[in-house]
Chain A
Amino acid sequence: MLNINYKARLSFLLCLCVYSAPSFATGPRVAPSLFTSNTAFLYTSDFPPFISNKAENQGLLIEIINTVLKSSDITAEVNILPSKNMAKYYFSQENALAIIGYDFNFSKKTQQKSIFVPILSIDEYYYTHASVQQEFKWNGKLSSFKNKVYGTTKGNNVEKYKAAGIKVKYGRLHNLLQKMQKGQVDFIKSPQLTLNAELHTDFPQQQSAFIKMETKAAESVLGIAFNTQHADGKQSAEKFKQGLQKIITSAEFNSILQGYLGSEVDVKPYLKHLK
């Protein structure tokens, strides 16, 4: 169930979508990164409500990160790109300071040069469409989805799905939900908040047709991976870890979470990774 605060944010987000649609596909994209030079960038991609160009302070995760950057005296700008693979490109091929998100599916070489700082634990669930719901018996083992079609975003790790005999199709969340409606994709994985945000804005009349499988699919951790090959990478990672710890201890972390998820939110599940 969405709280009122969250609903208000979603409505605001919807209004921005409606009123700020671009007019020209070959036109300037006027973003702050156009005007900054010699700036270290932290690259990421859209993942509402955690990361979003359209949300106030760029979403829950980015607000936490920007708060830590400021308090730790790390000069860097977050740049939200339209795709995860673009963020991975800048990190691994152009030596960016850091990448934000999760499930980066790095090559071994890129993995070795990254320092991951966990920030937020999230639970993910599998979702299917009502038209094929009866065919699914999720028992916690991927083998139960054999021969089904899994939809996910390019850049995510799909090895275990392929190993279980599951076919994979790629797309954006919006696109995957459309494919589920058409019967081209059988199931997807998403945090509940992300899926609810998408359904609320783009599929308001069909929300009940997308069925959540109750057993949790995965516990994932959103965070920031610093690049040790960048001149400031190691030092920034260390400063960031300390800064993050400080805002968790000072309850500033709780305050940001409550700002997005409502004052009644239980913060503990989001910090599971600290146990």
Chain B
Amino acid sequence: MKKIIALLIGLLLPLSGFAEVIQFEANESPPYWSKNMPHNGMCGEILQAMSELAGLQSTVVFKPLKRLIADTENNDVGNPDFYLQHNDFYSIIPIAIYQSAFYYYKPSYPTGITLHNLADLKHYNIGVLKGTLIDQLSFKQHGINFETSYKQESIFKKLKLGRIDLALEIDLIAYHTLHNLYPGQHKDFAIIQLPNSISPIALMINESQPNAEEITQLYRQALTTLIQSGRYQKIIQKYYGDLSFPPKQFKHLERFNRLYNFY
């Protein structure tokens, strides 16, 4: 009888830990994460579906990125590379991937723009979002100039006005921005894909999260189930519309999983 009671206590103890809502912190980056979109955006919807499958309760709180990076004891979401410089996590669970691309305004370049290597970029003024430039000095040494903007909309407005030659942006964000800014004209903007730009969006579980090990296992299993059931693909299809998915997305998800959990 004592053994049965001990076993029941053992089984119930971890469950009591999961009764609390697991809080993830994100910064506003639609359509991936947004407090103004249903389900908090594409990744918010994936997280919600994973939590349901895992039998967990989760919530997403939105804060400025600087505060997210400064807080070393919270669960984060986003591209781990932005956080790993300052934060350590118990586990990192990649849940989606994204890729970036160059855009140019076709009427300004009727014969097109062709890029072969880094040196080709010297000939153009490139618009990027403020804060996304890594190794700025190296670009400067290569003679490559960037013009930064605070909003995605500003980048594409500048592109149409000819104030910049190329815009560098995540393809899904560009797709939504162009559809909102210039409905019916988005085909005037040509795209040059960057195959090396594939990056992950991940759940990052902090070491101080109670039951971090069990929660990680439950979320990993939930993601596998979500993909196998086809529900994952249906969620992202809603956001991608007629834009192509990043190639080999599941292969990349597995690779990022190995990369960020390599010891």
Give A contacts to B, CB under 8 Å: 16, 20-37, 46, 53-58, 80-83, 85-86, 88-90, 93, 154-155, 170-172, 174-175, 178
Contact = CB atoms under 8 A, between A and B. Distances in A.
21 contacts: A20-B133, A24-B129, A25-B82, A25-B83, A28-B128, A30-B128, A30-B132, A31-B138, A32-B135, A32-B138, A35-B115, A35-B117, A37-B195, A37-B196, A58-B135, A58-B137, A81-B81, A89-B262, A93-B258, A93-B262, A174-B86
Given A35-B118, A172-B88, A174-B86, A28 B259 contact: no
B53 interface: no
Contacts, number: 147
Closest 4 interchain pairs by CB?
A25-B78, A82-B84, A22-B131, A89-B262
Interface residues of B, number: 59
Contacts of B199: 28-29
Interface string B161-198: 00000001110000000000000000000000011110
Contact of A175 (B87, B131, B260): B87
B169 A24 contact: no
Contact of A34 (B29, B83, B146, B194): B194
Contacts of B84: 82-83, 86
Chain B interface, >50% SS class:
mixed
Contact of B79 (A27, A55, A81, A89): A27
Contact of B65 (A21, A81, A89): A21
B91 interface: no
B253 interface: no
A33 B196 contact: yes
Nearest to B200: A26
Most chain B C-beta atoms within 10 Å of own C-beta, residue among A16, A20, A170: A20
B129 A25 contact: no
Given A36-B117, A155-B263, 14 more contacts: A20-B133, A20-B136, A22-B65, A25-B27, A26-B43, A28-B197, A30-B100, A30-B133, A58-B137, A80-B135, A82-B85, A85-B262, A171-B72, A172-B88
Nearest to A178: B72
B68 interface: yes
Contact of A154 (B27, B29, B263): B263
A55 B137 CA distance: 8
A53 B137 CA distance: 8
Nearest to A56: B137
Given A34-B100, A85-B262, A175-B88, A27 B132 contact: yes
Contact of B76 (A25, A85, A88): A25
Contacts of A21: 65-66, 69, 131
A35 B87 contact: no
A120 B140 CA distance: 27
Given A22-B65, A34-B100, A27 B138 contact: no
B88 A86 contact: no
A23 B130 contact: yes
A172 B259 CA distance: 18
A26 B262 contact: no
A175 to B, nearest CB: 5
Contacts of B262: 85-86, 88-89, 93
A175 B196 contact: no
B79 A29 contact: yes
B77 interface: yes
B150 interface: yes
A53 B29 contact: no
Nearest to A83: B84
B32 interface: yes
Contacts of B201: 26
Contacts of B32: 26
Contacts of B65: 21-25
B239 interface: no
A50 B29 CA distance: 34
Contacts of B81: 29, 81-82
B131 A26 contact: no
Contact of A32 (B68, B139, B195): B139
B98 A85 contact: no
Contacts of B128: 28, 30
A16 B150 CA distance: 17
